[in-house]
Structure 1
């Protein structure tokens, strides 16, 4: 979410410059810990927790794609995931929203990947893929508009992109402050605009 949330927060801050904003970017476990301890107004995630009551608003499609170096043999071809399952893969850390989505797809498809590395940084994964260390499954939001500028290509793999919506979440019993409600309204209005354009 750090690929798009700073822009949304920046737009909100420009509209309401008098409001002090605290934006924390953290891994899933840290975000869930903060949510359970009611430390913030709003949280952005793909998978809301099951162990606490929350209100969850989907607002942006998170598309996961298979990424390879531009020189990869499958660039420009349509392939099955099984065709590349034996190649080295770099995935996000266990427990992340991306990893949960990928794991669910692997179970459903019966494909096993050769996961050689787990990394908690999209930027590091992009660099590792570009340098030929392995393939990855990343959110399209983590890629440049033209991935080739970073030495990457998106492979045309049947069944991809995997889609799960980003959600803005708060505790069910949370009474949102006026600024938090205004930001939530802005995010949901953005989602409505996107759906009309799409």
Structure 2
């Protein structure tokens, strides 16, 4: 046997995604490069590691055994590397974070300086929908998650990072005036574009509408804030959107805030983790970093956000 750590890592990634194409994207390699590494590994075994049924790639039963063994090998190598770095009095290891889609506008700012100061820490950050974020928490697949509405059914600890402010916005040619606050009932007269059911943004908005006894018209339902934003810019309707994700569009005057009494709707961005979670050295160090530096990060990077008022 003459397999390499690189071949094992490629095989593990293919097994994780069930796709050479997706594995190549995750590894930042070309598809041919992944295929070659997979073939070189397979050539060392008389029993197939994978099989293709239709156009779908599957890991064989023997392949699953090799997946488990490969993961053990990779884990042991990581332990060796971490011991070396720790011996040099540095922090090392993986830091795993899941982030709801809107959180991509703030989470990098709470990571950059920490990662620069700790080059031995390897970040794995998954930006996805709320349902997937909750699943990663439930399955203990991540150290931390960033959410605006923490799931109630999971016992969690948390740090509040900053406010999440939602405003009614329209495009540059909107006929709704911006000189004074509109009554909340104005929301019942316009076409509104929503995020998909289950998103944190959607839940916050619907809670507010229900409290105001508003019956609104849902013209469109889209699966990302970027899609909602582009639909509003194109003039398909209005939306209640997180301020954090529309800074550039406001500055370019592609969007404008429509003042409404009772707005902005507010929630809080929270970094959450499983109660009684056993942290790795990297995760423990990151938690200490956030506790110590969050205020200065907010002041330096999000002063514009904290000072925003309806106008």
TM-score of the two chains, using structure 2 as the length reference: 0.60
Match of 2:176 in 1: 74
Match of 2:128 in 1: 26
The answer to whether 1:123 aligns with 2:231 is no
Range that drifts further, 39-48 or 72-81: 72-81
> Which deviations, in whole Å up to 9, do the C-alpha atoms of 1:7-66 show, x marking residues without a partner?
322232112122111000010000011100000100010121122211122111000111
In 2 relative to 1, CA 71–148 (structure 1 residues): closer, same or farther, beyond 3 Å? farther
Match of 2:203 in 1: 100
Higher normalized helix content (fraction of residues): 2
Kindly report which structure 2 residues correspond to 1:79-158, keeping only aligned pairs within 5 A, or say none. Answer: 79-145=182-248, 147-149=250-252, 151-158=254-261
Match of 1:182 in 2: 285
> Which deviations, in whole Å up to 9, do the C-alpha atoms of 1:136-173 show, x marking residues without a partner?
11111111256151610011111111111111100002
Match of 2:110 in 1: 8
The answer to whether 1:65 aligns with 2:167 is yes
> Which deviations, in whole Å up to 9, do the C-alpha atoms of 1:113-137 show, x marking residues without a partner?
1112121211111111011001011
Match of 2:274 in 1: 171
* Partner SS for 1:89: strand
* Partner SS for 1:133: coil
More RCO (CA 8 Å, sep 6+): 1
In 2 relative to 1, CA 24–189 (structure 1 residues): closer, same or farther, beyond 3 Å? same
Separation (CA, whole Å) in 2 of partners of 1:98 and 1:47:
9
Match of 2:153 in 1: 51
In 2 relative to 1, CA 190–121 (structure 1 residues): closer, same or farther, beyond 3 Å? farther
Structure (1 or 2) with the larger CA radius of gyration: 2
> Which deviations, in whole Å up to 9, do the C-alpha atoms of 1:84-119 show, x marking residues without a partner?
322111111111111111011011111111112121
Conserved? CA contact 1:75–1:153, under 8 Å? no
Separation (CA, whole Å) in 2 of partners of 1:187 and 1:155:
34
> How far did 1:192 drift?
3.1
Where in structure 1 are there 5+ consecutive unaligned residues? Answer: none
* Partner SS for 2:267: strand
Conserved? CA contact 2:131–2:198, under 8 Å? yes
